[in-house]
Structure 1
Amino acid sequence: MGHIRLGTLPQSKKWRDVIQLLESSAPLENVAEAAARASELDLRRASDDPTFQFVAQLLVKLPLLARAPGFEAALSELGVKRSALDSVSGLLAGLNDAITQHNFDNGRSSDAGEMGRAALLESLSVQMRGQLPTLFEPTPQEIRKALASFASGQNFAVLARDFFARLSYRSLDYYLSRELANHTGVGKRFADDAARVEFSRALSQHTFEASRIVEEFAGGWYGKTVWKEQSLSQDKINDFTRYAFKKMRSELGRRRTSV
């Protein structure tokens, strides 16, 4: 099975700009915006990647499937066993297997798809657990109800923000992690590994704060597309992810100029 990798940024002028910012100890906001600008084309193409499209489809459609009759049958069509609803971890494992099977059926995987997969599973894990009882193990009915809760515009917006925050951080880290080691040591930007880890932690927080822009429009998009127009085609989902990437890139740029 083939694997599609993202571009090799170190050869581009935009990536050299990122390196110069790291060498000059520029503020994190500047580094994040420059890295986002350098990776913009690859992220724009992610919306056309079959694996990422499948992940985005799960993000948008799973809450609706959980809310509608025949949820177990719908999961089976995705390749997820009905027993997956016995626990949150079981559901996540089932979705992970479904994505793997999708890659196998298409004969390839991709970096964009794998980052999307990780972001989706992490977001569902965190956001669903926030909707579930904490004293006892949730029942399959409670797990389904928690997932279905994201079929409202407001709750979907929260889930979408979490997803794109994690995805944006992973995409920036995908490129930056290759370079940060070259700037760690005595007399360099990061005195030691602890300083480099702190930079990564701050970058994660920065992308989460920037992702607020996604939350602001995702709920309205969901309500209009799902409930008003009742038109949730793959093209509509692709347009949504493209716009989310565009807004994240714009917000990272705005935050740089406001520093």
Structure 2
Amino acid sequence: MDLLSGQAAPEAVIAASAKAAQTDLLRASRDPIFVEAVRLLLAIPAAARVEDFGAALRKIGLDVPNRPELLDLVTAVTVTLDQRRAAAPANSDFGEMASRALASTLATTIGDVLPGLFGATPEDVQAATRNLSWNKGIAEYSRRFFGTLLSETLSYWLDRTLDTAVGTDQRFVNVSSRSAFDIELEHFSWESSRIIKEFSGGWYGKTLHRDGGFSTEAAACFGHVALKKIVDDLRTREIRIV
């Protein structure tokens, strides 16, 4: 990427990467592992509304004990998506990134409000997860997932080039300057995912009330709309930066 060899602002470099990734993002909305990750993203908070949280999670395809702790939940999600990837006729890097993004989102979103990871009870985990099923909770939670996924996607495009751009007479003088760029990338992705908050809460509540849960078809629709909104935002920001 020519921008890396010059002194273009970090946002301009990231925007150029985003432009290159836009087609792949829209195509990836049909990735079956991404769709399954979105289904679990939506279904897990709804399962926490059920008194028997463990049974509700098993009903949506997660192998957890009767009183799951956070580690049980994150592990079950990772194992389930890994198994789906192994059984798929073709694997994609985007599916793997979606799996990692969901595990990270659950660990941080739920973990951040627990009274200490080792002091939290299964009831604490269920209560924290249930809070994600309300309008404000689902808006922040889904935004974090898509923001993490976008950051991973842009990093995927940039990392091979960035890894060779550290050193004397390179764009990044040292590892610290490279790390500062990564922070800019995370901020850029977080800002582009803000648009997810505008529709996710209302869509979630309406769909849960109407259908009682989240099918693969509903997840595919939600995921496609979310990625399209992000791509539209990326295009708008690209125009402003240019």
TM-score by length of 2: 0.88
**2:43 counterpart letter in structure 1:** K
Identify which of structures 1 and 2 has the higher relative contact order when contacts are C-alpha pairs closer than 8 Å and 6+ apart.
2
The question of whether the paired residues in 2 share the 8 Å contact of 1:32 and 1:252 is answered with: no
Q: Please, which of 176, 185, 188 is the counterpart of residue 194 of structure 1?
A: 176
Structure 1: gaps spanning 5 or more residues? 1-18
Q: Which residue of 2 aligns with 1:7?
A: none
Helix, strand or coil for the counterpart of 1:82? coil
Distance 1:230 1:81 in 2: 21
The structural deviation recorded for 1:107 is 5.1
Q: Which residue of 2 aligns with 1:177?
A: 159
The question of whether the paired residues in 2 share the 8 Å contact of 1:29 and 1:252 is answered with: no
Q: Which residue of 2 aligns with 1:125?
A: 107
Helix, strand or coil for the counterpart of 2:164? helix
Q: CA RMSD in A?
A: 2.3
Distance 1:147 1:231 in 2: 16
Answer with 89-98 or 63-72: which moved more: 63-72
Q: Which residue of 2 aligns with 1:155?
A: 137
Percent identity, aligned pairs only, is 32
**1:61 counterpart letter in structure 2:** A
Structure 2: gaps spanning 5 or more residues? none
Distance 1:31 1:135 in 2: 38
**1:125 counterpart letter in structure 2:** A
With over 3 angstroms needed to count, the CA separation of the structure-2 counterparts of 1:94 and 1:220, relative to structure 1, is same
Distance 1:84 1:205 in 2: 36
The structural deviation recorded for 1:79 is 4.1
**2:107 counterpart letter in structure 1:** S
Q: Which residue of 2 aligns with 1:34?
A: 16
The question of whether the paired residues in 2 share the 8 Å contact of 1:52 and 1:117 is answered with: yes
The question of whether the paired residues in 2 share the 8 Å contact of 1:84 and 1:90 is answered with: no
Distance 2:200 2:58 in 1: 28
Distance 1:164 1:119 in 2: 8
With over 3 angstroms needed to count, the CA separation of the structure-2 counterparts of 1:183 and 1:44, relative to structure 1, is same
TM-score by length of 1: 0.83
Helix, strand or coil for the counterpart of 1:206? helix
The structural deviation recorded for 1:229 is 6.4
**2:33 counterpart letter in structure 1:** T
Q: Which residue of 2 aligns with 1:254?
A: 236
- Number of positions where the alignment pairs a residue of Structure 1 with one of Structure 2: 240
With over 3 angstroms needed to count, the CA separation of the structure-2 counterparts of 1:252 and 1:100, relative to structure 1, is same
The structural deviation recorded for 1:148 is 1.6
Distance 1:255 1:44 in 2: 17
Q: Please, which of 29, 32, 43 is the counterpart of residue 61 of structure 1?
A: 43
Distance 1:136 1:124 in 2: 16
The question of whether the paired residues in 2 share the 8 Å contact of 1:84 and 1:91 is answered with: no
Q: Which residue of 1 aligns with 2:63?
A: 80
**1:27 counterpart letter in structure 2:** A
1:141 aligns with 2:135: no
Q: Please, which of 184, 207, 218 is the counterpart of residue 225 of structure 1?
A: 207
The structural deviation recorded for 1:101 is 2.3
1:243 aligns with 2:225: yes
